[in-house]
Amino acid sequence: MDFYERVKIILAEIPEGRVATYGQIALLCGRPKNSRQVGYALNRGLAGKGAPAHRVVNSRGILSGAASFDTPDMQKQLLESEGVEVFWEKDGWRVDLKKFGWKHTMEDAVRFHAMLKK
């Protein structure tokens, strides 16, 4: 199964009101070292149309600076509409991963692995 298809599947599993990191997505896709490709996928829209790309941030909780969204603050808007606090820190908009980071269980990981057949 294609890596980008896997990304699409995992993205659909991120709960509303929570955010996941690129590395986390890559890990759950069974490709721990492909965090950059996750970004590539979202940037190029390879993860499908309705993909919740706004729920993905980097390891420090910083929102993507690359404006692949219609408007610069769209990602922030979408997150806030889901109840996620977004605040400005030095160089960019950020969320507290301690509070809003998606903490998937081991069971989740196993379940996802089963979905990623082949």
Partner DNA sequence: TCCTTGACCTACT
Partner DNA sequence: AAGTAGGCCAAGG
Q: How many CB atoms lie within 10 A of CB 17?
A: 13
Q: How far apart are CA 20 and CA 100, in angstroms?
A: 9
66 near DNA, judged by CB under 7 A: yes
| Residue among 40, 20, 38 at smallest CA distance from 29 | 38
**Part of the chain binding DNA (CB under 7 A), chosen from 6-14, 52-60, 78-86, 102-110:** 52-60
**Residue 34 sits in the site that holds DNA (CB under 7 A):** yes
Site for DNA in 73-112 (CB under 7 A): 75, 90
Half-sphere exposure of 75 (CA within 13 A, CB side): 26
Residues binding DNA (CB under 7 A): 3-4, 21-24, 33-40, 42-43, 53-54, 56, 58-60, 64-66, 68-69, 75, 90
